[in-house]
Amino acid sequence: MTDQTKPIKPPDEGFSIHCPKLGHQLPFSYCRSENMGVPCFKTLDCWFRYFPVEIYLRGELTAEEWSNTFEGPRVSKVVTLTELINQAKTGKK
């Protein structure tokens, strides 16, 4: 089997990198499903050095999920933090 025909696999759970959004180490599995089951919008930026993340995710996501995650408008950090605070106040996950 040549390298081109091997399935692309993300790093295992024992490997983590610094998350610029949250400020601590996280494995790929967290980044892959951080946004209600779809990847964090920064996943491509954070993981491209470690494996062919774009190719992997294009094979995993629907065209709509890809577009919504990586091509849509970005939510500001203030809006995200406000939403998280409100969720914490109401006891939602």
Question: Could you tell me the two tokens for 89?
Answer: 């106040």
Cβ 43 vs Cβ 57: under 8 Å: yes
Report the distance separating Cα 47 and Cα 1, nearest Å. Answer: 25
CA neighbor of 57 nearest in space, from 3, 49, 48, 26 = 48
Residue 93 has pLDDT above 60, yes or no: no
pLDDT one-digit tens code per residue, 13-66: 999 999 998 999 999 999 999 988 999 999 999 999 999 999 999 999 999 999
**Looking at the predicted structure, is the pLDDT value of residue 87 above 90?**
no
The token duo for 80 is: 């995200």
What is the pLDDT, as a whole number, of residue 6? 80
